[in-house]
């Protein structure tokens, strides 16, 4: 029997607790959030969009054009899932109850003021607005909105995702939705660098010595760092565009079958902090670090 995504996530959380120091603290919250998403969609199922014409899609990919599928989200559903995740936050961390109440009010207002469907950019604007207007911190806001968005996108786009010729794709952005990745892996079977879209979860191979954001191939300006002797996470950086992304070395996990990289990302946010402190910004645009935590290196 194939495992559901929910089961895979819970298994990955268990694995990551052993792999990443410090993840034990936040793992109960992540686990509850996964359960909340699962419960939400059990009650409110989402229909995938019809698959893109296979030949047409292959032609576009061959020509180096992303399909750039960016469906609107049902406003009520997006708000519904955000509120459900808010409940998890308030339950796990009672100190944040007042913030969650504030959040709920703004979300209700957003629902009243918005059309039936909204583009994902409008939801990013809502995220920024909430950070400005409420006590919601940047890292938690990124968590809330990225989990919400990927939960819808992976379902909306799954019919096309399954037939997409990612083997023809060489660019750094997502062939299916055009999003810039935040992480990837070195595949367990052959060590090849595979990027993954944090939004629609499409995976594709990418040349090791190339920046996915500015296409820089100058070896002198590309590098990665690890922490101490821990080689399962690499922060890949580019000194030309000063951006970074994370690469998980799946050869070090002894994982049989698929790895849920999104969980590894959440388990290794301290690496995002290190990257920010080194002066690199996330090429994905996803800010996982609060500004007051970034203390620039003093000389």
**Which residues would be at the binding site for Zn ion (CB under 5 A)?**
174, 176-177, 179, 197, 199-200, 202, 211, 213-214, 216, 238, 240-241
Reduce the DSSP state of residue 253 to 3 states and report it.
coil
**CA torsion, points 157, 44, 28, 275, in degrees to nearest 10?**
30
What is the nearest approach in angstroms of Zn ion to the Cβ of residue 28? 29
> Smallest Cα–Cα separation from 83: which of 66, 97, 57, 103?
103
Q: Are 103 and 136 in contact (CB under 8 A)?
A: yes
Q: Is 16 left (phi over 0), alpha (psi -120 to 50) or beta?
A: alpha
CB of 86 or CB of 184, closer to Zn ion = 184
Taking the mean position of all CA atoms in its chain, how far away is CA 128? 17
Least Å distance between CB 41 and Zn ion?
19
Give 98 or 119: the residue with its C-beta nearer to Zn ion.
119
Per-position DSSP letters for 58-80, written without gaps between them? HHHHHTT--------EEHHHHHH
CA atoms within 13 A on the CB side of 252: 16
Q: For residues 148 and 200, which CB has a smaller minimum distance to Zn ion in the complex? A: 200
By C-beta, is 110 or 244 nearer to Zn ion?
Answer: 244
Nearer to Zn ion, 129 or 225 (CB): 225
């Amino acid at each position: 029997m194939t495992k559901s995504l929910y089961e895979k996530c819970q298994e990955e959380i268990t694995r990551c607790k052993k792999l990443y120091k410090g993840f034990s603290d936040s793992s109960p919250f992540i686990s509850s959030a996964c359960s909340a998403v699962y419960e939400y969609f059990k009650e409110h199922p989402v229909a995938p969009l019809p698959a893109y014409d296979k030949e047409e899609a292959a032609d576009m990919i061959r020509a180096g054009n992303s399909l750039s599928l960016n469906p609107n989200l049902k406003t009520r559903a997006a708000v519904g899932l955000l509120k459900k995740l808010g409940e998890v936050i308030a339950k796990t961390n009672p100190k944040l109850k007042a913030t969650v109440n504030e959040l709920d009010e703004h979300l209700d207002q957003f629902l009243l003021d918005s059309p039936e469907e909204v583009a994902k950019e409008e939801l990013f604007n809502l995220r920024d607005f909430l950070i400005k207007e409420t006590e919601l911190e940047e890292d938690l806001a990124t968590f809330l909105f990225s989990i919400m968005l990927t939960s819808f996108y992976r379902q909306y786009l799954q019919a096309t995702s399954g037939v997409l010729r990612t083997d023809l794709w060489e660019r750094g952005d997502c062939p299916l939705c055009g999003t810039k990745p935040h992480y990837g892996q070195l595949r367990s079977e052959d060590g090849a660098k595979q990027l993954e879209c944090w939004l629609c979860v499409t995976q594709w191979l990418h040349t090791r010595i190339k920046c996915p954001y500015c296409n820089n191939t100058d070896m002198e300006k590309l590098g990665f760092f690890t922490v101490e002797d821990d080689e399962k996470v690499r922060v890949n950086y580019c000194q030309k565009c000063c951006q970074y992304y994370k690469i998980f070395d799946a050869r070090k996990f002894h994982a049989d079958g698929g790895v849920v990289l999104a969980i590894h990302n959440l388990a290794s946010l301290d690496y995002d902090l290190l990257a920010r402190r080194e002066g690199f910004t996330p090429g994905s645009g996803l800010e996982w670090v609060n500004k007051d935590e970034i203390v620039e290196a003093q000389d």
